[in-house]
């Protein structure tokens, strides 16, 4: 019998599979298809202080190995999520969740962290400093070592919940940014968020997405995400939630060998709503195939030798 359990900042998960923020909503639609309690946990839809309508349409376009999107953090706002979505979530998900939070400035991040830090249902605060699709802050926060350091320092002063920083791959040196997060007191790192990309319509000869440039995700980014997880693991001592193009149980194992303690599943959920369920169910057989008795034992295994 293989052991799929993993631990994030003292929180033990039944398995490392975590649907990533932005691809799983609040879990309700997926709970109508299968029992989502089989998941390790999930990161719910990115939340801001005030409601956001998001970016103009069209804001999604297919690519040969994934999609580009420019949703723009559309969400009902902090107060609605706390008063409506979290209580509703208890009806279909019996585990703690990850709260993905996005702010335009450090004060907004602090308000969000303080509010969600008081919620018993929330196990980890995942701080989005990496969204390429919002003009007020967004990815700019996560490209500066000084910014991420200051954000973490502030958040750790207002909450006792573990703070994980979700980083952008659109930087020259991901290691320096990750180390700045750790130096600021971050409890963990989530990476990667989407890369930047675009599509052009050959008939209209104009960009397909209204914002022109959008976030690229899907299978095509997996080698890049894996490389960044590998590099960050060598530089920091805090746990990593690795994500980016993960679409099968083998990808989960590969991510963990590179250094991830848990693994986010993003675009695959949009292509196949049963993707995370199928990965969880396939994981034990893949572990047996490769002689893995416990997932905890393989974290960072690719760095040995």
pLDDT of 130 reads: 73
Q: Is the pLDDT of residue 72 over 90?
A: no
pLDDT of 287 reads: 98
pLDDT of 131 reads: 54
- In which band, very low, low, confident or very high, does the pLDDT at 137 lie, cut at 50, 70 and 90? very low
Q: Is the pLDDT of residue 304 over 90?
A: no
Mean pLDDT of 18-40: 97
CATH architecture, domain defined by 6-54+73-198+216-303: Alpha-Beta Barrel (3.20)
Distances (CA, A) of 238 to 119, 165, 186, 232, 234: 23, 11, 8, 10, 10
Q: How far apart are CA 5 and CA 151, in angstroms?
A: 31
Q: How far apart are CA 143 and CA 132, in angstroms?
A: 11
Locate 163 and state its tokens. Answer: 């703070």
Which of the residues 63, 131, 145, 181 is marked catalytic?
131
| Least confident span in 33-42, 64-73, 85-94, 257-266 | 64-73
Mean pLDDT of 31-35: 98
Q: What is the percent of the chain where pLDDT is above 90?
A: 90
Is 63 annotated in the active site?
no
For the stretch 195-222, pLDDT in tens is: 999 999 999 999 999 999 999 999 999 9
pLDDT of 2 reads: 97
Enumerate the domain spans of the chain: 6-54+73-198+216-303
Mean pLDDT of 40-49: 97
pLDDT of 252 reads: 98
Averaged pLDDT score across all residues of the chain: 94
Higher-confidence position of 54 and 150: 150
Mean pLDDT of 160-169: 96
Mean pLDDT of 247-255: 98
- In which band, very low, low, confident or very high, does the pLDDT at 97 lie, cut at 50, 70 and 90? very high
Q: What is the percent of the chain where pLDDT is above 70?
A: 96
Mean pLDDT of 255-283: 97
pLDDT of 160 reads: 97
β-strand 214-217 against 195-197: which pairing, if any?
antiparallel
Q: Is the pLDDT of residue 108 over 60?
A: yes
Distances (CA, A) of 134 to 7, 26, 71, 151, 267: 32, 21, 9, 18, 19
DSSP assignment string, the chain: --B--EEETTEEESSSEEEPTTSSTTSHHHHTTS-GGGSS--BPPPB-SS-B--PPSP-EEEETTEEEE-----B--HHHIIIIIHHHHTTT--S-EEEEE--SSHHHHHHHHHHHTT-TTEEEEEEE---TT-SSSGGGGGG-HHHHHHHHHHHHTT--S-EEEE--S-SS-HHHHHHHHHHHT-SEEEE--PEEE--EETTTTEESSTTSSEEEESGGGHHHHHHHHHHHHHH-SS-EEEESS--SHHHHHHHHHHT-SEEEE-HHHHH-TTHHHHHHHHHHHHHHHTT-SBGGGGTTGGG--
pLDDT of 144 reads: 86
């Amino acid at each position: 019998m293989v052991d799929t359990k993993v631990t994030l900042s003292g929180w033990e998960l039944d398995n490392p599979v975590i649907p990533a923020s932005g691809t799983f909503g609040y879990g309700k639609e997926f709970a109508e298809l299968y029992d989502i309690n089989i998941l390790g946990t999930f990161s719910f839809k990115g939340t801001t202080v005030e409601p956001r309508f998001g970016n103009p349409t069209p804001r999604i376009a297919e690519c040969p190995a994934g999609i580009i999107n420019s949703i723009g953090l559309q969400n009902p706002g902090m107060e609605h999520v706390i008063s409506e979505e979290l209580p509703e979530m208890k009806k279909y998900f019996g585990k703690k969740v990850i709260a993905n939070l996005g702010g335009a400035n450090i004060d907004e991040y602090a308000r969000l962290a303080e509010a969600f830090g008081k919620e018993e249902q929330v196990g980890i605060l995942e701080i989005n400093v990496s969204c390429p699709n919002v003009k007020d802050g967004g990815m700019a926060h996560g490209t500066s070592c000084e910014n991420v350091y200051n954000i973490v320092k502030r958040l750790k002063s207002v909450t006792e919940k573990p703070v994980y920083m979700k980083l952008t791959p659109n930087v020259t040196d991901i290691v320096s940014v990750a180390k700045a997060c750790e130096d600021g007191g971050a409890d963990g790192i989530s990476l990667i968020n989407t890369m930047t990309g675009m599509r052009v319509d050959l008939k209209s000869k104009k960009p397909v997405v209204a914002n022109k440039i959008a976030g690229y995700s899907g299978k095509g980014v997996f080698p890049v995400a894996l490389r960044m997880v590998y590099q960050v693991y060598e530089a920091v001592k805090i746990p990593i939630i690795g994500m980016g193009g993960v679409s099968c149980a083998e990808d989960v194992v590969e991510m963990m060998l590179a250094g991830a303690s848990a693994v986010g599943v993003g675009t695959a959920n949009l292509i196949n709503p049963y993707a995370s369920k199928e990965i969880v169910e396939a994981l034990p057989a893949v572990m047996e195939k490769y002689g893995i008795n416990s997932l905890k034992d393989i974290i960072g295994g690719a760095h040995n030798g």
